[in-house]
Amino acid sequence: MKKEIGFIFDLDGVIVDTAKYHYLAWRNLANSLGFDFTEEQNEQLKGVSRVKSLEILLNIGKVTLSEEKKQFLLLEKNKEYLEYVNTMTSDEILPGVNQLLTFLETNNIKFALGSASKNAPLILEKVGLYQRFTAIVDGNDVSKAKPNPEVFLIGAKKLNMNPENCIVFEDAIAGIQAANTAKMISIGIGDADVLSEANYVFKNMEAITTDFLKNLIN
C-alpha cells in the first residue's frame, strides 16, 4: 500500500546550482573590501542565510563594519546576485530533477520547497518550476535559519503531512540537521563524507534511482 508522504526540496544546490552565482557576488564584495574569497571558503556559506553569510565573509577578511554599511553591502550583493538570476532559464535545472518531479506527480505525491533563500520564488519562476510545487517556504517565511527545523516544519504543515512522513532533499549540513531534528527522512545530495548525518546520500540528483524512490513511497 502507498504511504501518505510528502517531499520537501531545498533549492540552491538541489534543484539549481545557484551556489556559483552566490560565490561570484560574495567574491566581488570581498575583493571590494580588499581581500580574496576562495571557492573552498564559499562552502561555509551553503545553506546559510544572507545576513549570516556576510558575517562569515567579514570574519574571513577580518573586517569590521558599521551596521549601516553592512545593510548597504547586503543590498549590493543581492543586486549583483539578481543580475545572474535574471539570466536563468530551465536549462539550469540540475540533471535528474525533472524526472524526479515527474515521478512524484505520476504517483500523486505532493512536494514543497524548503529554502533559506528570499529569492526562491523568483528563481523557481525563472526556471519554470514554480507552478509544480504544492507549497513554497522560503527565507521570507522563517525567523530561524537552518539547522533550526522551522522551514521544513512549515513545509510539512503546508503539505498537510506529519513531519515523520516527509522526506527532505538537502545539499547543506545545516539542512540535513534541520531535517533530522524535524524527524524527517533526510537525503543528502553531495559528498557522503560531508553529509554523513543524512539517512541516505547521493552524489547528485541524477544518481537517485526509481527503485530507491519506489521503496521510499511503498
The set of catalytic residues is 10, 12
Q: Minimum distance from CB of 177 to ligand BG6 (Å)? A: 14
Given the complex with Mg ion, which of 205 and 213 has the nearer CB atom? Answer: 205
116 contacts: CB under 8 Å, gap ≥ 6? 12, 47, 48, 49, 138, 139, 142, 145, 146, 151
Of these partners, Mg ion, ligand BG6, none, which one is at the site of residue 48 (CB under 5 to 8 Å by kind)?
Answer: ligand BG6
Side-chain half-sphere CA neighbours of 171 within 13 A: 23
Q: Give burial (CB, 10 Å; 0-12/13-18/19+) of 116.
A: buried
Q: How far apart are CA 161 and CA 6, in angstroms?
A: 7
Given the complex with ligand BG6, which of 117 and 186 has the nearer CB atom? Answer: 117
Residues that bind Mg ion (CB under 5 A): 10, 12-13, 47, 171-172
Of these partners, ligand BG6, Mg ion, none, which one is at the site of residue 177 (CB under 5 to 8 Å by kind)?
Answer: none
Q: Minimum distance from CB of 113 to Mg ion (Å)? A: 11
Given the complex with ligand BG6, which of 12 and 150 has the nearer CB atom? Answer: 12
Which three cell numbers mark 65? 563594519
Given the complex with Mg ion, which of 44 and 162 has the nearer CB atom? Answer: 44
Q: Minimum distance from CB of 35 to Mg ion (Å)? A: 25
Which three cell numbers mark 72? 548597504
Q: Minimum distance from CB of 164 to ligand BG6 (Å)? A: 24
Edge-first strand order for the sheet with 185-189 is: 135-137, 111-114, 6-9, 166-170, 185-189, 200-202
Residues that bind ligand BG6 (CB under 6 A): 11-12, 22, 45-50, 53, 78, 115-119, 139
